Structure 1
Amino acid sequence: MLSIEQVSELAEDIFYELAEDNLSAEKLDEFDQQAEQIGFVEARDPQEAIWLASLDFVPDPEDYAEVIIGLNRSIAADVNQQEVFARILISKDEDDKFCHILWPEKPAEH
């Protein structure tokens, strides 16, 4: 099984590989410009409701991790707001290449 750190790194690599095709140019530029200062990669147990609605199954936390990639915005002195750029469900089993990404909706191009 992959460690949480390994799962996080793998998810981040996949995010960067696919972001250009799944985020608007403006969102991608925004993330690229601010990720070093306020970006985050957070691995945690999968949230049942989100993945059940998207994939029709409940991922077992023993086998899967949910990795969220985004920006932490300070909106007040003691308040941060997270802007999520990708929510990634990824297998902890290094032989299982399962990965599913929920991206924010990309606006239609004109």
Structure 2
Amino acid sequence: MPARLCSIEEATHQAYAIFQELAPQNLSELDIAEFNQHHEEFGFIEDSEPDNSWQEFVSLESDLEDFVQVLVGIEYEDDDEVLAKILISRDLDAPFCHVLWKQEAEENI
């Protein structure tokens, strides 16, 4: 039986809600202040197909086609600053979410 999938837009909204809820525990006060100050003008929430780097962080039994990758950050003139990279399931019967926060991403470079 095929999975019951929510839309990419719904999954993206859910990922952003998770970002807002968990950001205070996972980002620096400076990052949060910058995002709050600039998110209306320069903030971005970008969804895409999951890239292959997720295999390094999570083992998935489901197809990557059932997931959305969401980037949340601030777009500056010279560079984008990604605050969170989120992998979220679109499968309504198998909820899953994993967030890579800015500090974690910098440690893995």
Which deviates further from its counterpart, 3-12 or 56-65? 56-65
Q: Identity of counterpart residues, as a percentage? A: 40
Distance 2:12 2:59 in 1: 24
Between Structure 1 and Structure 2, the one with more helix by share is: 2
RMSD: 1.7
Q: Tell me what 1:19 maps to.
A: 23
Q: CA deviation at 1:73?
A: 0.7
The 4+ residue runs of structure 1 with deviation greater than 6 A are none
Give distance in 2, aligned partners of 1:57 and 1:32.
Answer: 33
Size of the alignment, in residue pairs?
A: 100
Structure 1 residue 70 corresponds to structure 2 residue 66: no
* Alignment of structure 1 residues 88-99 onto 2, 5 Å: 88-99=86-97
Alignment gaps of 5+ in structure 2: 105-109
Q: Which has the higher strand share?
A: 1
Pair 1:46 & 2:50 matched: yes
Deviation at 1:97, TM superposition (A): 1.7
Q: CA deviation at 1:61?
A: 3.4
For 2:93 and 2:61, the matched residues in 1 are separated by 20
Using structure 1 for the length normalisation, give the TM-score: 0.83
Give a deviation string over 1:44-99, Cα, whole Å, max 9, x none. Answer: 00011x21111245873321110000111112xxxxx2110000000011222200
Letter in 1 for 2:42: I
